Amino acid sequence: MTRPSPAIPSGTPTRPGERADQSTVRHANLGTVLRHVAELGPCSRAAVAGGTGLTRGTVSSLVGELIELGLVRESAEPAGPRGIGRPGIAIELGGTVAAIGLEVNVDYLAVCLEDVRGEVRFERRRERDNRGTAPAPVLDRLAELAREALAAAADGGMRVVGLGAAVPGLVRASTGTLLRAPNLGWSDVAIADELDARLGLTSTIQVDNEANLAAVAEHWQGVAQDLASFVLLYGEIGVGGGIFVTDELFRGTHGFGGEIGHLTVDRDGPPCACGSRGCLETLVGLEALARAAGLEAGRTTSAQAIAEEIVRRAHSEDAATLAALAEAGATLGSAAASTVNLLDLEGVVLAGAYAVLAPWLGPSIADGLEEHLLAADWSTCVVRASTLGESAAARGAAAVSLRTVLAAPWVAAGREGSSRVTV
């Protein structure tokens, strides 16, 4: 974690008509205190004052506001070690502010309700092949899942401060439009507007690529917390990629970066849904892997079901399955090495169905990096499997809103540019 930025001397509480600079100072201090609490875990108000340079009185006032916002709560744990005076009441990140993350994928829909502590309070997943289905009925079902999460939030006394959606394709983030999802056969779908029309929310819905959002989740709560730079390989029917550089999601000029699934692996290879040939996902997407392993076509339709069947066969030492996994691992290893040769990253994270297959794919990918990385002798690139499981992308979609609130807690207060979702 990065160190909190130095505190700005505190102003007085914000009142109508108050000068803008005082309100700005208080906002900055509110953020400083919240980040401090997030980093320290359960701690005393005095510890926050000591660490931020703010007075105890100012910290108490700011903590009071953060408690009111549902971002901080008083903890069950004492603030200090026993026996050294009377311990104060510790404070920690609170649990009543949450965000909703949705995911549309080729063969499932998912939702999660995640609180500001990064804990999942509700989640649902619906397996269903969405290919060849028009966007409208799929988005109807997605909105239904969102309503279930909103109801769960209301039942749990949670305040929902944002909603995000993960989609398997190119996104224009500024408008929340899915420009192109080759595996769904969708193009130009105004996801944010369509969801808004169905849910009638007061906040902006943030839409992004599934693998980008899975990378956000891994960096915030998952296996990539200590990696400043990595590429996440998101294995589903297609293959997505999310890239972090210097602790930030790397988007590229128009936000279209990270499309590792469309790296050309074999110019004479099989046709890809994108219109090109021999893209990485035509060789190592989950359906391609199923064919290579000799699974009956059409017997299983979801990437997750394919992955589970492959794991079962691999455990029983099925030769075709083990050969298919070895070949896929080698192909992914050389694609990962190409990516790291270009970008000089610290790690590779296997997510989606690849997380399930990591015991087989991981070592081949590590071998590929060792073999193909020009800088292998001077840098290490670790390979890890996601621990967030199937919900990584949906959790990333929620995390985007939660991280915004953690960075700028006054947003949760609805004072400026409200992102509050009304249930």
Q: What does the binding site for a copy of itself look like in residue numbers (CB under 8 A)?
A: 170, 172, 179-180, 182, 228-229, 241, 243, 245, 250-260, 262-264, 267, 274-276, 279, 330-331, 334-335, 337-339, 341-346, 371-372, 374-375, 377-379
Q: Which residue has the tokens 């979801």?
A: 302
Count of C-beta atoms within a 10 Å radius of residue 304 = 20
Query: Which tokens in the block code for residue 323?
Result: 């050969």
Query: Least distance to a copy of itself from the beta carbon of 257, Å?
Result: 4
Query: Least distance to a copy of itself from the beta carbon of 128, Å?
Result: 25
Query: Least distance to a copy of itself from the beta carbon of 37, Å?
Result: 30
Query: Least distance to a copy of itself from the beta carbon of 287, Å?
Result: 19
Which of 221/334 has CB closer to a copy of itself?
A: 334
Which of 160/337 has CB closer to a copy of itself?
A: 337
Query: Least distance to a copy of itself from the beta carbon of 275, Å?
Result: 8
Q: What is the CA 85 to chain-centroid distance, rounded?
A: 42
Which of 40/382 has CB closer to a copy of itself?
A: 382
Alpha-carbon distance of 156 to 239, in angstroms, equals 36
Any bridge partners for residue 277, and if so which? 271
Per DSSP, the three-state class of 315 is: helix
Which of 117/172 has CB closer to a copy of itself?
A: 172
Which of 162/258 has CB closer to a copy of itself?
A: 258
> 135-155 and 191-199 are packed helices; what angle lies between their axes, rounded to 10 degrees?
50
Alpha-carbon distance of 386 to 392, in angstroms, equals 8
Q: With the C-alpha atoms ordered 275, 277, 283, 284, is the resulting torsion angle positive or negative? A: negative
Query: Least distance to a copy of itself from the beta carbon of 273, Å?
Result: 10
Which of 262/313 has CB closer to a copy of itself?
A: 262
Alpha-carbon distance of 351 to 385, in angstroms, equals 6
- CB contact set of 3 (below 8 Å; sequence gap of 6+): none
